[in-house]
Structure 1
Amino acid sequence: MTSAYLATTLKQAFRVCDPRPLSGEDMQRYYVDLSKVRNTKAIAKVDADLKFQEAEEFTTILFTGHRGCGKSTELRQIEEKWKQEYFIIYLEADQEIDIQDARYTDLYLVIIKQIEYELRKKEIQFDRELIRNFEAWFKEITNETEETVERSVSMSGTLEVSSSPFPIPFIAKLLVKLLAQIKGSDKQKTTIRQTLERDISRLQTDLNLLLLDGLKKIRAKFPHYKGFLIVFDNLDRVPPPVGDHLFFDYAPQLQALKCNIIYTVPISVVYSEKNVNNFFDKCNIVPMVNIYELKRDIPDLGYKQEGLTAVASLIEKRVKVDALFEEYEQLLTLAKASGGHVRQLMQMMRTAITSTDAAGRTKINADDVTNAIKDVQFNFERTIPDEHYPDLVKVYLKKEISNTNIGQSMLFNTSALEYNGNERWNYINPVVKSIEVFQNALKNATV
C-alpha cells in the first residue's frame, strides 16, 4: 500500500473510513483479505461453484453473515474476479424493493427489468415474439396500456441507454411502473402481487424463455460468457420474519429461474429450526473476524493477536496511524471494541475523529476512543429489548445462541455475533458488556 493514499488529516481520515462497502478504486487501495482470520471458506466455496459451472447450467447460492461484516465488499471481489466469465448484474435490493416486505415476485420483476436494460446496453434485444407475448400477458393481467404506462413513467434513470439504437420496449416501462407501485403503495403492492401469483407458472415460464433467449444472444456476441450471474445484495437487511418467509416458504420460486443467482440472506435464517440446508444446496457464511482465543468456560475471552492485527490493518490501510493517533494502543482498543465487526470499527473510527475535531485537537486520544465506544453502547441501550438481556448473558457465558426468535433477533441486530472455523460459536458484541442492564442480568444469572 503506497503512502500516497494514507490519510494524514482528520478530514481525510473521516472520508476514507466510510463504513460503506468498497468498490472501484477504493477496492484496490483499501481491501484487506480477512479470510484467514475469519477462518471461513465461504468465498472460496462460491469461487469453486462458479469455476465448476458449465455453460448453460444454473445454480442458486446463498451468501450470509452479519450486516456490516464485509459481505458486500467480498461480493464485489467475486464480481471483479468472475466478470470475464459471467455476464454479471449486481443489484442492491434496498434500492429496488421494499426491504421491509419483500416477496419473490418483486425479485422476479427486478431481475428481468435489469437484464433487459443491461442487454440493451450491449445492443442486444430479446426475441420479438417472446417479448410481444410477455407484454400481451402483462397488459391483460394488469389492465395497463401503452398510454397509461407512458403517462406515469419518466424516461430517465435506468430506462434510458444513450448508446443503444433500440427503443425502450413497453415491458421495460411497465416493470419500472410496477416496481415503483410495489415500493410505494401497500394497496397496489398487494394487488400486483396477487395478480402475478394467480398465474405464477405462466410468469416463470415466460421469464425463463426470455432468460434463455438472452443467454443465447449474449453468448453469441460474447462467447467467453458462461451465462448470467445475478448478485442480489442487501437482502440480508430484510427483517427476520420476512427472511424466513422469503427463503423458506418461497425457496422453490427463488431457485426456479434459468440463471445463476447469489442471494444475500439474513444470518437469522441460518439459525431457523426449519434448517436452510433442507431448502438450498449452498449456504455460505461470512463470520466475524475472530479476535478472540476461544475458551468456552471463561466468560471474558483473551485476544488473538493475529485477529487484532488484521482488524487494525483495516484502519492502517487507510490512515497514517502515527499522524492520527496519539498512541497505537488506542487503535487496538477500537479493534477490541469492534468484536471483529468491520462496519462497527469504521463507525467508531469516524466518531473518534469527530470527537477529536470537536475538541480542537489533531490526534485521536484515549478520551476520543472512549467516546466512540460509548456512542455504539448507547445505541444498543436504546434498541436492545429488555427480554434479550438474559439470553445475551447465556451467550456471554456459554458461547452459543439459541435458535429462538430472540436468538435470531440478537444476530440480526448484532448484539450477538457468530464466529467459526474449526468450531462454530457465538459471543456478545463487546460494547454490550458495559451496559448496566446486562451487568444486572449477569448478576442474577442462574446459568
Structure 2
Amino acid sequence: MSSAPTESSQPATDLRQAYRNCSPRPLRSDHPWYTDLGAARGGDLKPRIIQRFEFKETGVPGLRDTWMRLLLLGLRGSGKTTEIHRLAAELRHRYVVLYLEANTELNAEDFDLSELILSIAVGVERHMREFEQKPLPKEALEGLQRWFAKVTRENIEERVAQVEVQGKLTAEGAPLPAKYFTSVLGMLKRTSTEREKVVQQIRKYPAELVAYANDLLRAAQEPLGDRELLVVVDNLDRYNPDTLDRCMSAGAEHLQSLDVNLIFTPPVSLLLDPRSEPLNNLYQTEFMFTPALRRADDPPDTVDEPARGLFREALSKRMDLEAVFANPDAVLDRVLQHTGGSLRDLMEHLREAFVLAQGPKLTVADVDAALHKRVGIIRDQVRISGKAELLAAIERTHSLPEGTEALQLLYRRYILKYNGEEWYALHPYVRSLPEVQRFLGPKTSAS
C-alpha cells in the first residue's frame, strides 16, 4: 500500500506528527515528500529504464521480442516501490500501467506459474473495467473461464452463486466470468486442499493457459490505440527464491509468451545464485542500489555529500528539522550512521526514537537508544547463525565471499549493496554488534 497526498503531508512540527510522517510506506508518484536520491545511488535509474521502453519496438501479438520483460532488483527497503510509482507516472503517455502487489494478489507464502499468469490476465480485465472504463467484451474472459472450469472440473454457476450469496463481489456490473474469477483468485490466495488440487490441474497445461490469457490481453490492448499494456508485479522479493526460480527461470518460456509488457521484482539472491538458467540471460535487468553515505575506503561512520544533503532534503519535506530535532546536524548524521542509507530503516529508526524521546525534541541520545532497542533481535539472530566472522570478513573486503553462505544474510538485509564499483558493507545495526566487532580490526570498527 502506498501513501497519497493528504493534509498531513505538511512538515511536522512536533514528535507526534513527525512519527506519523515517517511511515515507511512507499510514496505515490505525485507525493510532495518524494526526493530523488539518484545521485547517492550512483545515478538515476529511471531515465535508463524509460529509454529501454522508448527504444523498444511496438508490441506485436505472437512476437515475444517486441514486448518488454524487465527485472528491477534491489534490496528490500531500498525505495524500489516508490521509484516504480514514479516510473509508471512517466510512462503513462505511452503505456497503460497496471500495478500488482504479488503478496496481495497471490498466496502470501508460495505460488505457481499458472497462478501468476492467471492473476496477470484477470488483473488486466479488472483494471480495464474499473480504472480505464473500457470493459472487455464478455467473450474475452469466457474462453479462459470455460478452459479453467473444464480443467478443474468445476461448475461455473455454483461458484458464482456462492460468491453472490456470501456477498464477496463488490464490482457492480461485473460480467459473469469476472464474478467467477473473483471467487477463484480468492480461493487461490488461501492455503488449502482445494487450492492444491486446482493448481495441480492447471499447471499441467501452461501453453493452453497462456493461449487463453493472450486472447484476453489482446482484447484489452485493442481499444488502447497507440498505448500498450504494462503490468508491474511488485513484492516478488518477499518470496522464497525457489518459488521465483520455478516461475521465472523454469517457466520463462511461458511468461515470455504473454502479449504484454512486464516488470518483475524478484529477490536479489536469485540473480546472484541462480537455481537454473540465470535470470540475466532471460530478462533485461536493472539494479537499484542503496543510497551510499560514503565511499568504500572511508571510515564506516562517514556521512558524505551528496547523501547528507539529499537525506536532509527528504526529511525536511516530512518535518521541520529545527522544530523536531534538538540539534539538526548532529541528529541527522547519527540516524544516518545507524541506518546506512536504507530508507525503510531510516524511517522505522526515527519512529522508534520518537517514541523513546525524553523531551520535546529528538536528541542524539534518543537516536542511540533506538539503536539499542532495534538491534536486540538481530543480535540473537547473528549469534544463532554463527556467521559473525563471515559478516566481519564482508565488512573488511566490501565483497561477497565465494559460495552461497552470504545470500541469506543479504536477504535479511544484514548486508547492503552500494553503487560505484558495486561494493558491499554491513548494515550498521549488524556492524555494531559485539559478536561482529570482535572479528573487526580498528579500521572497520565503528568510531
TM-score with structure 2 setting the length:
0.88
Give the AA of the match of 1:377: V
What pairs with 1:19-418 in structure 2 (closer than 5 Å)? 19-23=24-28, 27-56=30-59, 57-121=66-130, 122-154=132-164, 160-162=170-172, 167-216=173-222, 218-219=223-224, 223=225, 225-273=226-274, 276-295=278-297, 300=300, 302-328=302-328, 329-356=330-357, 359=358, 361-384=359-382, 385-402=384-401, 404-418=403-417
2:188–2:195 CA contact under 8 A, matched in 1: yes
2: CA distance, partners of 1:399 / 1:128: 56
2:425 to 424, 427, 433: 427
Structure 2 CA distance, aligned partners of 1:154 and 1:76?
Answer: 34
Partners of 1:67 and 1:293 in 2: CA distance: 22
Q: Which whole-Å CA distance do the structure 2 matches of 1:197 and 1:244 have between them?
A: 15
* Structure 1 unaligned spans of 5+: none
CA distance in 2, matches of 1:79, 1:155: 38
Question: Is the contact made by 2:40 and 2:307 (CA closer than 8 Å) also made in structure 1?
Answer: yes
2:312 maps to amino acid: A
> For each residue in 1:152-180, what CA deviation from the matched residue of structure 2 results, as whole angstroms up to 9, or x when unmatched?
32589995444xxxx42333223222222
Counterparts of 2:218 and 2:408 in 1: how far apart (Å)?
39
- The structural deviation recorded for 1:181 is 2.1
| 2:9/2:33 contact within 8 Å kept | no
Q: Which amino acid aligns with 1:172?
A: A
Contact kept in structure 2, 1:99 and 1:235, CA below 8 Å: no
> Structure 1 residues 123, 365: closer, same or farther in 2, change over 3 A?
closer
Query: How big is each residue's C-alpha offset from its partner over 1:96-131, in whole Å with a ceiling of 9 and x where there is no partner?
Result: 112321222121121111111122234434344443
Cα 1:154/1:404, change in 2 over 3 Å? farther
Distance in 2 (alpha carbons) for counterparts of 1:205 and 1:116: 16
- The offset of 1:233, in angstroms, is 1.1
Contact 2:107–2:191 under 8 Å retained in 1: no
Seen in structure 2, the aligned counterparts of structure 1 residues 369 and 157 have a Cα distance that, compared at 3 Å, is farther
CA distance in structure 2 between the partners assigned to 1:154 and 1:383 by the alignment: 47
Which AA in structure 1 matches 2:306?
Answer: E
Secondary structure of the residue aligned to 1:32 is coil
Structure 1 partner of 2:3: none
Identity of aligned residues (%): 25
Relative distance call for 1:407 and 1:241 in structure 2 (3 A) is farther
Secondary structure at 1:292 match in 2: coil
- 8 Å CA contact retained: 1:8, 1:323: yes
Query: Cα 1:391–1:65, aligned 2, differ >3 Å: closer, same or farther?
Result: same
- Distance (whole Å) between structure 2 residues aligned to residue 108 and residue 6 of structure 1: 42
Q: Counterparts of 2:356 and 2:53 in 1: how far apart (Å)? A: 45
Counterparts of 2:168 and 2:125, CA distance in 1: 11
Give the direction of change, closer, same or farther, for the CA distance of 1:331–1:87 in structure 2 (3 Å limit): same
Q: Give the letter for the 2:317 counterpart.
A: K
Distance, in Å, in 2 between the alignment partners of 1:157 and 1:336 is: 51
Instruction: State whether residues 100 and 242 of structure 1, in contact with CA within 8 Å, keep that contact through their aligned partners in structure 2.
Output: no
- C-alpha distance in 2 between matches for 1:257 and 1:148: 30
* Paired amino acid for 2:291: V
- How many Å apart are 1:307 and its aligned residue? 1.7
Maintained 8 Å contact 1:64/1:286: yes
**Deviation of residue 31 (structure 1)?**
0.4
Question: How far 1:414 sits from its partner (Å)?
Answer: 0.5
Across the aligned residues of Structure 1 and Structure 2, the Cα RMSD in angstroms comes to 2.5
| Secondary structure class of the residue paired with 2:72 | strand
User: Partners in 1 of 2:129 and 2:371 — Cα distance?
Assistant: 49
Task: Give 1:41 deviation, angstroms.
Answer: 4.7
- Deviation of 1:302 after TM superposition, in Å, equals 3.8
Structure 1 residues 306 and 115, CA gap change in structure 2 (3 angstroms): same
Distance 1:47 1:128 in 2: 34
Instruction: Provide the rounded CA distance (Å) in 2 between the counterparts of 1:251 and 1:229.
Output: 17
Amino acid of the structure 2 residue aligned with 1:294: A
Structure 2 residue runs without a partner (length 5+): 1-7, 60-65, 442-447
Report which of the two has the higher share of helix. 1
Change over 3 Å in CA distance of 1:41–1:150 after alignment to 2? same
